[in-house]
Amino acid sequence: MQVWKFGGTSVGKPERMHSIRELITADAGQKFVVLSALSGTTNALLSIGESLKAGQDEEALEKIEHLKAHYDSFLRELYKTSEGLAKGQQIIENEFSFIRSLTRIKPFTLKQEKELVAEGELLSTQMFQAHLEEMGVHALLLPALEFMRIDADNEPELDYIERKLREMLRPHGDKHILVTQGFICRNPRGEVDNLKRGGSDYTASLIGGAIRAEEIQIWTDIDGMHNNDPRIVRNTYPIRELTFEEAAELAYFGAKILHPSTITPARKFGVPVRLKNTMDPAAPGTLIADKTTDQVFKAVAAKDGITALYIHSLRMLNAYGFLRRIFEIFERFKTPVDMIATSEVSVSVTIDDITKVKEIQAELSTFCDLEEPEYDQTIICVVGNFSADKPGIAAQVLNALKGIPVRMISYGGTEHNLSLLLHSRYKAEALNALNEGLFNV
Ligand code: ADP
Ligand code: ASP
Ligand code: MG
C-alpha cells in the first residue's frame, strides 16, 4: 500500500478534487489518501477563533457565514449529480452547525479552538469521499481521531497508531482507496488536537511508517524540493534525490514544502518519500530515500523566529561540567536547542520556542553571566555532501556571504550540514547570495 497526501492547494478547487480522484484511481494499487483542508480554510478557522477569543461574536458569525458561502459554491462544481450535491450539502450543514455551536461556548478556550480548526480536514475528507462515491469509487473514510494520538509532550504515539490502524484495517485490508484527515489527532485527555501547522505531511509519514507502506507521496503545488526557497529566490530548481538525513535537515530548518518532523517516521521504517506536483503529475519530483549522490552543495533552507542566548561561565578556564549544567536546564524546560557554538568559557545557543526563556535565563544566571537574548534571528542551513576530506566547503559558503554579518556558525556536526545564524533582516540577501555562490545560477 502507498500513502498519498494532498495539501491545501491540491484540494482547494473542485476541479483539483476531480484531478486527484483521477490520479488515485489511475492504477489498481492500494492507496491510503491523506487530505488537508481546502487552501485558506485553516487560516479562516483560526481567524474565527481569534474573533471568539476577543469576544467579537458577531464578527465571528459573519466570518463563519462567509466561509460557508465558499463551501456552498464549491459543492455546486464538485458534484455532478443531485444525489451527490445533496450529500455534500448535508455534510457542510452538519459541520457548519457544529462550528456555529462553538460560538455559544463561553469562555472560548484552546480546547474549542482546536475543535474549530479540525473542521477543515473533517470537511474536505467527507466532501471528497462523497465525490468518490458519486463517481462509483468505493472508498473507506477512516477517522483520524480514532487512531492518531499524541502524548503529553505533543509527540505522536507511534505504537498506539500502529496498533489502532492494524485493528481498523483488518476488516478492510483489500479496500482499494482509504481516505483520512491529515493534521488532526487526539491528546492524552481524549480531546481533539493537531500536529501543528502543515501537519498533514506528518500524518502521512506517521501512517506510512505505521503500516510499513511501500512509499509515501506528498502531493503539493510545486515539482519537488527545490535547492533554495522559491518564495524568496529566483532561479531555484527541483532536486531529484535526497537522503532521509538531508531532507530531514531541510524540513527542520525551514523548507516549507515539508512539515519539520515529516521525515522522522519514514526514515525509522525506511519508507521512501516522494514529493510530487499535483499541477504537473508527470514531473519527476523528488525522491527521498537512502541513496546519496556526490553533488557537494544540494540545497539551502532558512528558519526564522530564532532567539540566540549568549552564556559565559563565571569560572575561568577548564570548567568541566559546565555544558552539562547548561543543557540540563534546557531539558528541564523542554526547550530544544537548534545550534550551539562554544569557546573555552562561553556558549552560544539558539532556540525557537521562547515560552520558557525567562525561567531558563533565571536558572542560568545562578552560575553564568548572560547577555541580553537576541531575537529575530534566522538559521540558514546549507545541506550537501561535505565529507571531512573535501577542501574549501566552508570557505565557499562564507565567501558567498562575505558581505553579510554572520552571528554563529556550526559545521562538522554531520557531514551534510553547515548552519549559520544571522539577523532575519539579512535572510533574503543571504539566500540569494548562496544561490549565486553555491549553485552558479
Ligand atoms: P501544501 O499546502 O501542499 O502542504 P505548502 O504550501 O505547505 O503546500 O508547501 C509547498 C510550498 O512550499 C511551495 O509552494 C513553496 O512555495 C514552498 N517552499 C518553501 N521552500 C521550498 C523548497 N525548498 N522547495 C520547494 N518548495 C518550497
Ligand atoms: N490544514 C493544516 C494547515 O493549514 C494542515 C496542513 O495543511 O498540512 O496547517
Ligand atoms: Mg504543507
Element (H, E) at 160: helix 158-169
Quick one: which atom of ligand 2 is closest to the CA of 7? Answer: 7
Find the mean pLDDT for residues 249-266.
96
Asked if the model's pLDDT at residue 83 lies above 90, the reply is yes
CA–CA separation, 157 vs 170, rounded Å?
20
DSSP 85-149: HHHHHHHHHHHHHHHHHHTTSSS--HHHHHHHHHHHHHHHHHHHHHHHHHTT--EEE--GGGT-B
**Burial tier of 159 (Cβ tally within 10 Å: 0-12, 13-18, 19+):** exposed
Q: Which helix (H) or strand (E) holds 2?
A: strand 2-6
Please give the radius of gyration of the chain, using alpha carbons only, rounded to the nearest integer. 24
- Distance CA(148)–CA(117), nearest Å, equals 16
pLDDT recorded at residue 195 = 98
Output 101 or 322, whichever has higher pLDDT: 101
Buried b / exposed e across 229-242, counting CB within 10 Å, b at 16+?
bbeebeebebbebb
**From the CB of 198, is ligand 1 less than 6 Å away?**
yes
Ligand 2 contacts CB of residue 125 (under 6 A): no
Phi-psi region of 196 (alpha: psi -120 to 50; beta: other; left: phi over 0): left
Take residue 254 and report the three cell numbers written for it.
525551514
Residues near ion ligand 3 (CB < 5 Å) are 7, 198
Q: What is the DSSP string of 27-86?
A: SS--EEEEE-PPTTHHHHHHHHHHHHHTT-HHHHHHHHHHHHHHHHHHHHHH-SSHHHHH
Q: From the CB of 197, is ligand 1 less than 6 Å away?
A: no
pLDDT range class, residue 131, cuts 50, 70, 90: very high
Ligand nearest to the CA of residue 299, numbered in listed order? 1
Report, as an integer, the average pLDDT of 376-380: 98
Distance CA 110, CA 191 (A): 11
Question: Cβ(254) to ligand 1 under 6 A?
Answer: no
Spatial distance between the Cα atoms of 12 and 351, rounded to a whole number of angstroms: 34
How sure is the predictor about 317, in pLDDT bands with cuts at 50, 70 and 90? low
User: Residue written as cell 539577523?
Assistant: 423
- pLDDT tens-place string over residues 48-60: 999 999 999 999 9
Q: Which residue CA neighbors atom 12 of ligand 1 most closely?
A: 257
Q: Which ligand is nearest to the CA of 8?
A: 1
How confident is the prediction for the chain on average, in pLDDT? 95
User: Would you say 7 and 183 are in contact if contact means Cβ atoms under 8 Å apart?
Assistant: no
Distance 6 CA to ligand 1 centre (A): 12
High-pLDDT (> 90) share of the chain, %: 92
From the CA of 255, how far away is ligand 1's center (Å)? Answer: 7
Q: Alpha carbon of 25 to those of 20, 31, 125, 356: distances in Å?
A: 8, 9, 16, 49
230 lines ligand 1 (CB under 6 A): yes
Distances (CA, A) of 360 to 161, 325, 344, 373, 376: 34, 12, 21, 11, 19
Å from CA of 56 to ligand 1 middle: 33
Question: Does 47 score more than 90 pLDDT?
Answer: yes
Q: Which residue has the cell 521504517?
A: 269
Ligand with an atom nearest the CA of residue 301: 1
Residue 441 predicted with pLDDT over 90 = no
Give the predicted TM-score (pTM) of the model. 0.95
- Average pLDDT, stretch 366-385? 96
pLDDT score for 440: 77
In whole angstroms, what is the distance from residue 219 CA to residue 375 CA?
Answer: 34
> Cβ distance 340 to 347 under 8 Å?
yes
CB 350, CB 307: distance < 8 Å:
yes
Is residue 179 within 8 A of residue 207, CB to CB? The reply is no
Which atom of ligand 2 lies nearest, measured to the CA of 37? 1
Strand bridging mode 346-351 / 337-342: antiparallel
Query: Ligand 2 centre and the CA of 352: distance in Å?
Result: 20
pLDDT at 4 > cutoff 90:
yes
pLDDT at 316: 57
Residues 132 and 287: their CA atoms lie apart, in Å, by: 28
In this prediction, residue 205 carries a pLDDT of 98
CB 81 within 8 A of CB 89: no
List, in sequence order, every residue forming a beta bridge with 347; answer none if it has no partner: 311, 342
* Least trusted range by pLDDT, from 85-94, 168-177, 185-194, 241-250: 168-177
The confidence score (pLDDT) of residue 318 equals 59
Q: Residue with the nearest Cα to atom 9 of ligand 2?
A: 197
Q: Cα 309 to the chain's mean position, in Å?
A: 26
Q: Which of 239, 256, 432, 439 to mutate to test the pocket of ligand 1 (most atoms within 8 A of CB)?
A: 256
